[in-house]
Amino acid sequence: MADTPITIREALSAALREEMRRDERVFIMGEEVGVWGGTYAVTRGFLDEFGEKRVRDTPIAEMVIAGAATGAAMAGLRPVAEIMTINFAFLALDAIINHAAKVRYMFNGQFTVPLVVRTTTGGGKQLGATHSHAPEVIFAHFPGLYVAVPGTAYDAKGMLKAAIRDDNPVLFVEHSTMLQRRSPVPDDLDFTLPIGKSDVKRQGDDVTIVTYQKGLEWSMAAAEQLAKEGIEVEIIDLRWLRPLDLEPVFESFKKTNRCVIVEESLPHFNVGAEISAQLQEHMFDYMDAPIKRVSAMDIPLPYSRELELMALPSADKVVAAVKEVLGG
């Protein structure tokens, strides 16, 4: 079992290809997925291998992509629907949240919705506020939907394969600026990762950082800077916003007694708000300092380069927050 270093893009492609070969009920639909090979080239070559029947270019109609995929899933297929950016998934919220997420519960388990909606998130590419937000937390508000937010190629592959095999609807969120990130990934065709398990990405005793996806990158960079000053942070990568696995967070917090939550979301009602609430509820006795959140500024993300950078989190902002919870 060789672990080959590949990019997140390649990991996603491999996961999709392997699952399509494994199960012919799996098919892909979305804008630009066929001839063009996907907005981020994840499905390049798929049309040739699997044909038009299983790789379907759709009209520009997010409601059809998510709604028809929900219907196909209820009728026994296993669609992987692609929506160009999570910001356009707003046009399909009714299908995803009112239906895909609720049908099993509302109709007494008669129908399951084995649907994966793949989409990209995140800013940093000067595409303005209607393309660039990272609003995945909104989707995690609703029971019935799983929300995947992988931050490495290893996780992306194992999580996507698990999502496709699962019988529940999954919003699978990929960060549009991280697709070239490389890490070793097993070639094993049955490599999957459990749904709803977070992961310790770095060990340390001083402060717990809870994060995911782009936040992982900022946090890892911050950890290096901090290590030079003798501060060792522990980084927990959530990997899933639903199911939310806080066990490793609690374990870490018992040791560090301090926590910073890092995410690209807007600051109100975000992941950090949920985790802070749970920490004070379950870990009150271990708490030595107020919990800090690092997130985007509370504005629609601006276009111009410097303004956009200012509005987004950064490694420096993480460093500052860690020092603050250490009382520095």
Partner 1 sequence: MVTNLETSQQIDDAGIDLETKTLLEMYWQMVRARRLDERTWVLHRQGKIAFHISGIGHEGVQVGAAMALRRGYDYAHLYYRDLAFALVLGYTPREWMLSVFGKEGEPTSGARQMPSHWSNKKQGIMPASSPVATQVPQAAGMALASKLRGEDRVTLVSLGEGSTSEGDFYEGLNWAGVHKLPMICLVENNIYAISVPMHLQMAVPNVADRAPMFGIEGVVVDGNDVLASYRAIKEALERARSGGGPTLVEAKTYRPVPHSSDDDDRTYRSRDEVEEWKKRDAIKRFETYLLDKGILSGDMIEEIEGRVRLEVDEAQAAAEAAPYPPAENALFPVYAPADEA
Ligand X SMILES: Cc1ncc(C[n+]2csc(CCOP(=O)(O)OP(=O)(O)O)c2C)c(N)n1
Nearer to ligand X, 62 or 217 (CB): 62
- Pick from 240, 190, 173: which is nearest to 15 by CA? 190
In angstroms, give the least distance from the CB of 127 to partner 1.
6
Residue 297 touches which member of ligand X, partner 1, none, C-beta under 5-8 Å by kind = partner 1
If the CB atoms of residues 99 and 161 are measured against partner 1, the closer one turns out to be: 99
Count, residues near partner 1 per rule CB under 8 A: 37
Q: How far is the CB of 67 from partner 1 (least distance, A)?
A: 10
C-alpha span between 208 and 260 (Å, rounded): 6
Q: Which positions are annotated as active-site residues?
A: 62, 131
Asked whether position 221 contacts partner 1 by CB under 8 A, the answer is no
Does residue 183 bind partner 1 (CB under 8 A)?
no
In the chain, which residue ranges form alpha helices assigned H by DSSP?
8-22, 46-50, 62-74, 93, 103-106, 129-132, 136-139, 153-165, 214-228, 247-256, 271-282, 305-311, 315-325
Chain contacts with ligand X (rule: CB under 6 A): 31, 60, 62, 84, 88, 91
**DSSP class of 186:** E
Out of 71, 128, 135, 267, the only residue in the binding site for partner 1 (CB under 8 A) is 128
77 binds, among partner 1, ligand X, none (CB under 5 to 8 A by kind): none
- Residue pair 139/100 in contact (Cβ under 8 Å)? The answer is no
Binding status of residue 299 toward partner 1 by CB under 8 A: yes
What angle (nearest 5°) sits at the alpha carbon of residue 30, between those of residues 20 and 7? 60
Q: Does 106 bind partner 1 (CB under 8 A)?
A: no
Phi first, then psi, for residue 9 (nearest 5°) are -55, -50
Q: Is 60 in the site for partner 1 (CB under 8 A)?
A: yes
Whether the bond into 243 is cis, omega within 30 of 0:
yes
